[in-house]
Homo-oligomer: A and B are copies of this chain.
Amino acid sequence: MTGAPEGSGFLAVDSGGSGLRVVVGTAERGPLARRTSDEPVRTGDRGIDPEHFMTRLVPLVRALTAEAGPVRLTAAVVGAAGLASLGAGLRAELPGALAREFGVRRVALAADAVTAYVGALGPRPGAVIAGGTGLIAIGTDLAGWRRADGWGHLLGDCGGGAWIGRAGLEAALRAHDGREGGSARLLACAEDVFGPVAGLPGALYPRPDRPAVLASFAPRVAVCAEEDPVAAGILRAAARHMADSAAAVCPGGASRVAVTGGLFKIGHPLLAPLDEELAKRLPHARRVPAEGDPLHGSVRMAAELSAGPLTLPDDETMLSVTTRSGD
């Protein structure tokens, strides 16, 4: 970089299934420029691929620093989906690679649940339910992190988009078969979306993105729930699962629970039972609006890290901070 770098610059990244979102800013002036890449970072046998990550990131950062003006990048926060289970390669290689490429000395690698938390509640104790295709709850008392669920569509993600959509399609097929617990309305909806249900297995099972296909039916379940008791029961059960997860991670005495993620665009048909179930499980807490999204959380953490150490607790798999002495 040329020119006179000013202040403490930071790099904030949100890496997920829909690609990379990157912000450059300074602690003093906040975010200065933002770019998006639609290509997600590859996951291979060794987990999330650190080389591919850098290949995607470097041109974005070059463009951002050109746009933001002379900035000395001192800190980077990378929030990444799958970090807890697939992040060994990133943890081993990314701090060194970011130091070599951009001179960044402090690097925090955070699970996307952590950046979702910080984006929603900031550095305060509480619990956040993050719902999209999947579902995870994360909580902190600022001494440590707890997570619940987030195990994927076959082992959990209870109450998430794929879970709701799958339950809706199961109820449709129950009606088709004449089994108990079916819903003629969900059956009509399913045929409207996918065609005759005899073709549903052939339309679903060969797809590599089965959870997303299932989740695509969740908004239809919510529409049906206004008048259909089976669909309403599915959303009630989803809300109960979410409250189970929130209760498992919410520290005693914490008063804040927030929800974040695309699933909650469903709105009232899901949020109304969720508030009731949260009131049962966490009577001392109240649901507060999320302040921002995971990229906002990454920016918040990066601004803090560029000025000094994070106030958030370290965690072996969910939040690891690496600090290098200067050259």
Contacts and interface: CB of A to CB of B under 8 A. Distances in A.
B247 A180 contact: yes
A121 B156 CA distance: 38
A152 to B, nearest CB: 5
Interface string A125-153: 00000000000000000000011110111
Given A155-B166, A155-B169, A177-B245, A198 B85 contact: yes
Contacts of A198: 84-85
B179 A248 contact: yes
A154 B204 contact: yes
Contacts of A148: 177-179
Interface residues on A, range: 35 or more
A148 B176 CA distance: 9
Interface in A170-189: 170, 173-174, 177-181
Interface string A262-301: 0000000000000000000000000000000000000000
A171 to B, nearest CB: 10
A248 B177 contact: yes
B244 A155 contact: no
A128 to B, nearest CB: 15
Contact of A155 (B151, B200, B247): B200
A201 B166 contact: no
A158 interface: yes
A93 to B, nearest CB: 19
Given A151-B200, A201-B85, A201-B151, A156 B170 contact: yes
28 contacts: A84-B198, A85-B199, A85-B201, A85-B202, A146-B178, A148-B177, A148-B179, A149-B177, A149-B179, A151-B170, A151-B173, A151-B200, A151-B201, A152-B201, A153-B154, A154-B205, A155-B170, A155-B173, A155-B200, A155-B201, A156-B174, A177-B245, A177-B248, A179-B245, A179-B248, A180-B247, A180-B248, A181-B244
Interface of A: 84-86, 146-149, 151-156, 158, 166, 169-170, 173-174, 177-181, 198-202, 204-205, 210, 214, 244-245, 247-248
